[in-house]
């Protein structure tokens, strides 16, 4: 069992969550080229390292939040609310 | 008909217009139009269907004056003097559980406390009577935590989840709101509620898990 610590509900079984995907900046849809938009939608960096991801607590508070997870060991070193994520990343998402 | 009792309802001959999603153990009576079980049990661990209780969900700003007026924070539950159980079931979400037939009154009471001009921050308050959309069961007995440990991954030890704890989690693989609401005599008790369509599955799963503890079905407690 992988424990994921929801910023609202505390540690829960990972089966309560849904993995949404890698967190990355959303390009401006009015200015992005089709290639940039395609990369945003479909291309993942998929590192064998620490990755910042978005998870959804579907069986709990039903909130989205950020998770820093090592994709090889599944270790989770931090979970945080989206607002904190925005501040840490200087306004990106 | 907030103060109706099973005996009153029988005497009035109120026809049943609503049924729980959970099969009622005989004998069955009618309370505020709901078919409810009158079964009695002296087992040390009992499970009862409380779906007839009025249930109103309220969404609003998770901080500020409205949240303060609701009187309970996320993750906690409190029983008001009028007997209504107020549950902080999610950030910015509350569930009110009252006597059968009081859904409209519960909504009116919340609405009376909302500023008609709305919240300056642009937040709004919404209420929905979900009495008929949810199944609500009560598990009571000292062995309740041991039973729950088989179907729920959350630590239900006193130090982690004391009385009046509210949480939404997975119980028997169903998304379920769990409220620890011990009986006045201190007996451990949990209210479990889930979508109506999953009610019978949850009820049966709890019964199965409780066989080793001598679980038995009890009638509607109206609380």
Structural domain total, chain A: 1
Rounded to a whole number, what is the distance in Å from the CA of B60 to chain A's nearest CA?
14
**Integer Cα distance of A51 and A45 in angstroms:** 9
**Integer Cα distance of A23 and A44 in angstroms:** 10
**Integer Cα distance of B160 and B79 in angstroms:** 20
**With an 8 Å Cβ cutoff, are B91 and A61 in contact?**
yes
In a domain, A63, yes or no: yes
In a domain, A93, yes or no: no
**With an 8 Å Cβ cutoff, are A62 and B90 in contact?**
yes
For the domain spanning B54-131, the CATH number is 3.30.70.1400
**What are the distances in angstroms from CA B206 to CA B137, B138, B154, B200?**
10, 10, 15, 10
**What are the distances in angstroms from CA A37 to CA A31, A43, A74, A90, B201?**
10, 10, 29, 21, 44
**With an 8 Å Cβ cutoff, are A12 and B91 in contact?**
no
Nearest C-alpha in B relative to A12? B154
Whether B41 contacts chain A with CB within 8 A? no
**Integer Cα distance of A55 and A40 in angstroms:** 18
In a domain, A33, yes or no: yes
Q: How many contacts does A have with B, using Cβ atoms within 8 A?
A: 32
β-pair type (B166-171, B54-59): unpaired
Match 């599955």 to its residue by tokens: B201
Best of A7, A16, A82 to substitute, by most chain B Cβ atoms within 10 angstroms, is A16
Checking if the pLDDT of A92 tops 50, the result is no
- Is it true that B37-52+133-218 and B54-131 share their CATH fold? no
User: In terms of residue numbers, what domain contains A26?
Assistant: 3-88
Mean pLDDT estimate for chain A: 87
**With an 8 Å Cβ cutoff, are B167 and A8 in contact?**
no
Say what the pLDDT of residue B123 is: 62
**With an 8 Å Cβ cutoff, are B168 and A60 in contact?**
yes
Say if residues A74 and A17 touch (Cβ distance below 8 Å).
Answer: no
Domain ranges (residues) in chain B: 37-52+133-218, 54-131
Whether A82 contacts chain B with CB within 8 A? no
DSSP B172-204: TTEEEEEEE---TT---EEEEEEEGGGHHHHHH
Per residue in B109-143, pLDDT tens?
A: 888 877 666 555 556 889 999 999 999 999 999 99
Closest CA to B53 of B136, B171, B116: B136
Say what the pLDDT of residue A2 is: 87
Residues in chain A within 8 Å Cβ distance of B175: 58-59
- Give the fold, CATH level 3, of B37-52+133-218: Gyrase A; domain 2 (3.30.1360)
Q: Which regions of chain B are under pLDDT 50?
A: 1-4
How far is residue B52 CA from its own chain's centroid?
9
**What are the distances in angstroms from CA A9 to CA A35, B74, B157, B177, B218?**
39, 9, 16, 13, 32
């Amino acid at each position: 069992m992988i424990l994921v610590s929801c910023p609202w509900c505390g540690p829960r079984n990972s089966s309560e969550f849904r993995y949404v995907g890698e967190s990355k900046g959303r390009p401006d849809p009015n200015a992005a080229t089709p290639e940039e938009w395609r990369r945003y939608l479909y291309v993942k960096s998929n590192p064998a390292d620490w990755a910042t991801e978005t998870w959804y607590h579907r069986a709990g508070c039903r909130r989205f939040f950020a998770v820093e997870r090592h994709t090889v060991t599944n270790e989770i070193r931090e979970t945080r609310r989206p607002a904190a994520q925005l501040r840490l990343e200087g306004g990106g998402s | 008909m907030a103060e109706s009792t099973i005996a009153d309802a029988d005497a009035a001959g109120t026809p049943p217009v609503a049924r729980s999603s959970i099969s009622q153990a005989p004998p069955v009576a009618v309370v505020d139009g709901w078919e409810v079980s009158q079964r009695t049990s002296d087992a040390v661990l009992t499970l009862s269907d409380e779906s007839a209780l009025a249930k109103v969900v309220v969404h609003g700003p998770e901080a500020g004056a409205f949240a303060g007026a609701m009187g309970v924070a996320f993750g906690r539950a409190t029983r008001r003097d009028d007997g209504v159980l107020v549950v902080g079931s999610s950030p910015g979400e509350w569930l009110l559980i009252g006597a059968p037939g009081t859904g409209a009154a519960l909504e009116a009471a919340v609405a009376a406390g909302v500023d008609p001009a709305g919240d300056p921050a642009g937040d709004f308050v919404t209420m929905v009577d979900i009495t008929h959309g949810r199944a609500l069961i009560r598990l009571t007995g000292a062995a309740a935590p041991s039973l729950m440990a088989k179907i729920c991954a959350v630590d239900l030890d006193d130090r982690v989840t004391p009385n009046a704890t509210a949480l939404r989690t997975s119980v028997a693989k169903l998304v379920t709101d769990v409220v620890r609401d011990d009986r006045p005599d201190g007996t451990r008790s949990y209210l479990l509620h889930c979508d109506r369509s999953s009610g019978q599955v949850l009820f049966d799963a709890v019964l199965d898990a409780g066989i080793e503890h001598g679980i038995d079905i009890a009638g509607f407690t109206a609380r």
